[in-house]
Amino acid sequence: MSRSIIHLNIADFAVAVENNIQPSLKGYPLVIAPLGKPRAVVYDMSDEAYKEGIRKGMALARAKRINKKIKILPPSFNRYEQVMKDLLKETFAFTPLIESGISDGHIFLDVTGSGRLFGPSVDVAFKLKKAFKKTFNFDPIWAVATNKLVAKVATRVVKPVGEYIVAPGDEKAFLAPLPLNLLPGIIKKDLTKLFEFNLFFISQARALTLEQLKILFNYRAPLLYDWIRGIDPTPVTTIYNYKNHSIGKNLSIIRSDHEFSDDTNNADLLKRALYLMVETICKTLRNRRLTGGATKIILYYSDGLQSASKLKLVPSTSNDMAMFKKCIPLLNKAWTRRVRIRHMRLICEKLCQGAIQADLFSAGTKETKQTELILAMDKIHEKFGKNSIRAGLTLTLHKDRHQ
């Protein structure tokens, strides 16, 4: 049976959120970008600003040269994330298979098995569009297709408003006349190589065999070969279920955030903030008698851009010191820019049951002593409060906001 995938896209999501708060901004060129930052770039822009030539990632100084009177608002990432959570609550009534970004206005739903309850996938899309309009004053673009890739291309075709249905079997015909830059996953480097051979449209790229694509793209060739034919078997993966804070049915995540009082690129401050987040996450793990199997660090820069890095923890752990030791190289890997950092987020994934218990034959080892120390600190915190005893590394961070 063909899958039924719905893609909902609230175009220019950050701008749409701000317009709901300040309706007077609607209809004017609007840019979302950090203010007072010398290297600030455009985080989001309205359709009116787009028509004037302003693009995401463009230097804010250049955007100002294009339109000197353009309205500029600083990004409110926490607000966008909260609105995204509220939107997702509306979608859970139709399917548990939901995939979305944290605050980008994109939502995928797999409604393949929901037909008997809610009718055809097109009806579900109409119902969600109506609900978003009534409850949140958003008018999402939507598309229905048999996979995520084709559904996302379809919403790009009808942006900024509209809907599109790609029937099963029509994927290749739908994609054929479209330019290659509409395909999700194709990066600028890929397009440059294809343009060198005068290949600008998807139908033209299909003339290349898999062997020929391997010459240009090496290991990425099989992916490109499938994408230009509308083949995408990837499932709709529930990245974060805001309803019960879980991934899927058996896995969950724990998240900690740190907002710096002043944007910084000081390595010592970043490490101290990281330890504080590790400490918070590991305490939560121990309280729930869990261990973490993977961590992810996301850095939010002053200019609105982000970078991230992920690491598997082997063995899984809830030990502050062990996790922090693994996260230091992870921080260095994610920290790829010289721009100051505004916010740091640490996510712990792949949680599993595992109470802290020392190895029967490892008494006196460094790991055992660390575990005993951490458990002793937990008891002190429970009796005398969180600030009764702290790691020296975190003492200078009282001015920053941590949660």
- Residue-by-residue DSSP string for 277-345: HHHHHHHHHHHTTEEEEEEEEEEEETTS-EEEEEEEEEEEE--HHHHHHHHHHHHHHH---SSPEEEEE
Of 345, 352, 355, 370, nearest to 293 by C-alpha is: 352
In the chain, where the domains are located: 13-78, 79-227, 250-402
How far is residue 399's CA from residue 402's CA, in Å, rounded to a whole number? 9
* pLDDT at res. 356: 46
Of 56, 4, 11, 3, nearest to 155 by C-alpha is: 11
Residue 368 has pLDDT above 70, yes or no: no
Mind listing the pLDDT tens digit for each residue in 54-91?
998 899 999 999 998 899 999 888 888 889 889 988 88
Q: How much is the average pLDDT of 183-200?
A: 90
Per CATH, is 79-227 categorized as 3.30.70.270?
yes
141-155, 167-181, 308-322: which has the minimum mean pLDDT?
308-322
Residue 240 has pLDDT above 60, yes or no: no
Residue 179 CB burial class (10 angstroms; 0-12, 13-18, ≥19): exposed
How far is residue 327's CA from residue 345's CA, in Å, rounded to a whole number? 12
Angle at 117 between CA 111 and CA 119, to 5 degrees: 65
Mind listing the pLDDT tens digit for each residue in 9-39?
999 999 999 999 999 999 899 999 988 777 7
Domain 13-78 and domain 79-227 have a common topology: no
Q: Is the dihedral of CA 185, 187, 193, 198 positive or negative?
A: positive
Q: How much is the average pLDDT of 124-143?
A: 93
pTM of the model: 0.67
**Structure-block tokens of residue 73:** 């608002």
The CATH architecture that domain 13-78 belongs to is 3-Layer(aba) Sandwich (3.40)
* pLDDT at res. 378: 65
Mind listing the pLDDT tens digit for each residue in 316-359?
888 888 899 999 999 999 998 888 898 899 999 888 765 444 44
Mean pLDDT across the chain, nearest whole number?
84
How far is residue 239's CA from residue 173's CA, in Å, rounded to a whole number? 31
- Which residue carries 């440059």 as its tokens? 192
For 250-402, which CATH class? alpha beta
In the chain, the N- to C-terminal Cα span, in Å, equals 45
